Amino acid sequence: MQAAIQLLQLLLLALPAVVKAECCVTKACTLDCQPGETCALQMVDCIRAPCPPIQACVGTTSNPNKGAEGSLKCTMECGDFQECRIYEPDGSDYCADVCAEGRCPKGSICELQEVQCIRAPCPPMATCNK
């Protein structure tokens, strides 16, 4: 009986904290930054979800990965059956698997499977299934 009471007390402490954390997820950056800086949401590595992004002032220096129109361009060289993509929150490049002709042996079907990872981005992994 004592264990049940302790568990109930623990749940009463933990559940409001989870609900409160979810309500506080920042969707827009509101920091007042210095000239030459802009407010950006940055992903954080954490042990226990939720892991909302934090606001930070980042420099607005010219980015060598920006194209002529100011859009980001991918510069990372990727392996066969992968393509370079840009992770939107921070503009970093990463290689993502693609299902393309020739990836899987004849009679197999290529499928992209979601993966769990510690640090974003977490692109799906291509697998060949019969």
56 located within any domain? yes
Rg (Cα) of the chain, in Å, rounded?
21
39 located within any domain? yes
Higher pLDDT, 38 or 12: 38
20 located within any domain? no
> What pairs with residue 110 in β-bridges?
128
Secondary structure class of 17 (helix, strand, coil): helix
Q: Could you tell me the sign of the dihedral formed by the alpha carbons of 58, 60, 64, 67, in that order? A: positive
30 located within any domain? yes
**Of the candidate ranges 5-9, 21-25, 84-88, 120-124, the one whose mean pLDDT is the lowest:** 21-25
pLDDT given at position 63: 47
pLDDT bracket for residue 96 (50, 70, 90): very high
Number of domains making up the chain: 1
pLDDT given at position 27: 67
The range of the structural domain enclosing residue 29 comes to 25-61
Contact 104/80 with Cβ under 8 angstroms?
no
Mean pLDDT of the chain: 77
7 located within any domain? no
129 located within any domain? no
- Identify the top-confidence range among 37-41, 43-47, 91-95: 91-95
Contact 61/37 with Cβ under 8 angstroms?
no
- pTM listed for this prediction: 0.45
Whether the per-residue pLDDT at 88 is higher than 50: the answer is yes
Higher pLDDT, 36 or 24: 36
Whether the per-residue pLDDT at 4 is higher than 70: the answer is no
128 located within any domain? no
As a whole number of angstroms, the distance between CA 103 and CA 81 comes to 7
122 located within any domain? no
